[in-house]
Amino acid sequence: MNNIVAIVGRPNVGKSTFFNRLIQRREAIVDSVSGVTRDRNYGKSEWNGKEFSVIDTGGYIKGSDDIFEAEIRRQVELAIDEADVIIFLVDVEEGITPMDDEVAKLLRKVTKPVLLAVNKVDNSMREKDALEFYNLGLGDYYTIAGMSGSGTGDLMDALVKLLPEAVAPDENAVALPRFAVVGRPNAGKSSIINALIGEDRYIVTDIAGTTRDAIDTTYNRFGFEFNLVDTAGIRRKAKVKEDLEFYSVMRSVRAIEHSDIIILVIDATRGFEGQDQSIFWLAEKNRKGVVILVNKWDLVEKDTMSTRDYERKIREELQPFTDVPILFVSAINKQRLLKGLETAVEIFENRKQRIATSKLNETMLPIIEAMPPPALKGKYVKIKFCMQLPTPTPQFVFFCNMPQYVKEPYKRFLENKMREIYNFSGVPIDIYFRQK
């Protein structure tokens, strides 16, 4: 399970700079996802072989300076609820402020590990100034300079020691595929899951899921067994009920990272909104299979073109990854829900298919010969051979004389051709060019 690290602190202490350093500026970075909320608040990082997700809670602050105090408190409460380790960032230039005291007061009560990081310490004078932060009552601190990165190594070493150890999987257990039902609040995720499993005799067990709240239900149907991950029923804390956006994003982040197939539920009456798009791109970045269920279709005024127009609009938003099944369903009428599950099962099969090297070359090389990559500066790219890599998701490598001259449009051309020939519906594909 991926651990979550939250960075908290009052505004302008350098949270975003430190966050960007964690998720972007090292070779070991795995991925960063933009647009999960309005700002870039979520990314993945790795240190000493340990991978973790980083949340910059700062981006969740809304409103003007005079209400910052209440916002800060809420932001820290969210971090305490969701994260495995908390980094509390303070600013040596300004010393301890009343707001820092407030945050420290909240953090002193938590049982989770808290690391105090004093930012903007870039000379020995400031090292002395940092001593003042012992007064926050959080024990030792780490001095860092987010801009230059000095001191962050020691902080990261301490951080990864605090991350919970991954539980070794039971070797005898059969790893069932995991299908996560995700979407924005009120899209009807619970109704869909209840309709599928409510009065259903096929349920085998309920297992506590990978987070404290998400529930895995083993579902046995169509001669196919999988775990259905319900992210909908997670309790909403009374204190933070207005932070629905934060919670739905956090649920989606966790569920997406630990699932194979994502069933994205959208509300037909609201359309394909920004948050739906963010969740979709999060799934795509994590190379998961995706099926989109447009729920509450029974509530939409229809004419003969409705589904086609609606589908076209969604596909425009999904470009360039448009090879995604879109189904119009109704949880209330149980309309096409089983078709949605069958489609998810098909995508799971698509995602793990292997194409024999001989067959791949047989189909792709004639296409490449008929339509080679465009010449660049008088140089011609010759693609000689291709193969599928032995990775969990579909990745292909094409060997050629000058890989640096193959541009994005040609990659897309090859991807589209492969999608026409082989069924990769709902599955992201990676294509690489390498020198033979």
Q: Is 190 annotated as a binding residue?
A: yes
Q: Is 198 annotated as a binding residue?
A: no
Peptide bond just before 11 cis, omega within 30 deg:
no
Q: Is 13 annotated as a binding residue?
A: yes
CA distances from 169 to 11, 99, 162, 163, 292 (A): 41, 43, 21, 18, 31
Q: Is 188 annotated as a binding residue?
A: yes
Burial class from Cβ neighbours inside 10 Å (0-12, 13-18, 19+) for residue 385 reads: middle
Q: Is 139 annotated as a binding residue?
A: no
Q: Is 236 annotated as a binding residue?
A: no
Task: Evaluate whether 386 touches 429 at the Cβ level (below 8 Å).
Answer: no
Q: Is 119 annotated as a binding residue?
A: yes
Enter the tokens of residue 216: 């895995």
Q: Is 269 annotated as a binding residue?
A: no
Q: Is 26 annotated as a binding residue?
A: no
Q: Is 16 annotated as a binding residue?
A: yes
What pairs with residue 83 in β-bridges?
A: none
Q: Which residues contact 368 (CB under 8 A, 6 or more apart)?
A: 383, 398, 414
Q: Which amino acid is at 256?
A: I
Q: Is 184 annotated as a binding residue?
A: yes
First to last CA, the chain: 37
Enter the tokens of residue 83: 């994260």
DSSP string, 339-400: HHHHHHHHHHHHHT----HHHHHHHHHHHHHHSPPPPBTTB---EEEEEE-SSSS-EEEEEE
Q: Is 230 annotated as a binding residue?
A: yes
Q: Is 154 annotated as a binding residue?
A: no
Q: Is 401 annotated as a binding residue?
A: no
Q: Is 352 annotated as a binding residue?
A: no
Q: Is 98 annotated as a binding residue?
A: no
Q: Is 278 annotated as a binding residue?
A: no
Q: Is 60 annotated as a binding residue?
A: yes
Q: Is 135 annotated as a binding residue?
A: no
Q: Is 122 annotated as a binding residue?
A: yes
Q: Is 123 annotated as a binding residue?
A: no
Task: Evaluate whether 74 touches 104 at the Cβ level (below 8 Å).
Answer: no
Q: Is 10 annotated as a binding residue?
A: yes
Q: Is 31 annotated as a binding residue?
A: no
Q: Is 233 annotated as a binding residue?
A: yes
Rounded Cα gap, residues 246 and 77, in angstroms? 12
Rounded Cα gap, residues 197 and 178, in angstroms? 15
Q: Is 241 annotated as a binding residue?
A: no
CA distances from 12 to 9, 75, 112, 148, 154 (A): 9, 15, 25, 17, 23
Q: Is 329 annotated as a binding residue?
A: no
Q: Is 57 annotated as a binding residue?
A: yes
Q: How many CA atoms lie within 13 A of 104 on its CB side?
A: 18
Q: Is 32 annotated as a binding residue?
A: no
Q: Is 297 annotated as a binding residue?
A: yes
Known binding residues are 9-16, 56-60, 119-122, 183-190, 230-234, 295-298
Binding residues for GTP: 9-16, 56-60, 119-122, 183-190, 230-234, 295-298
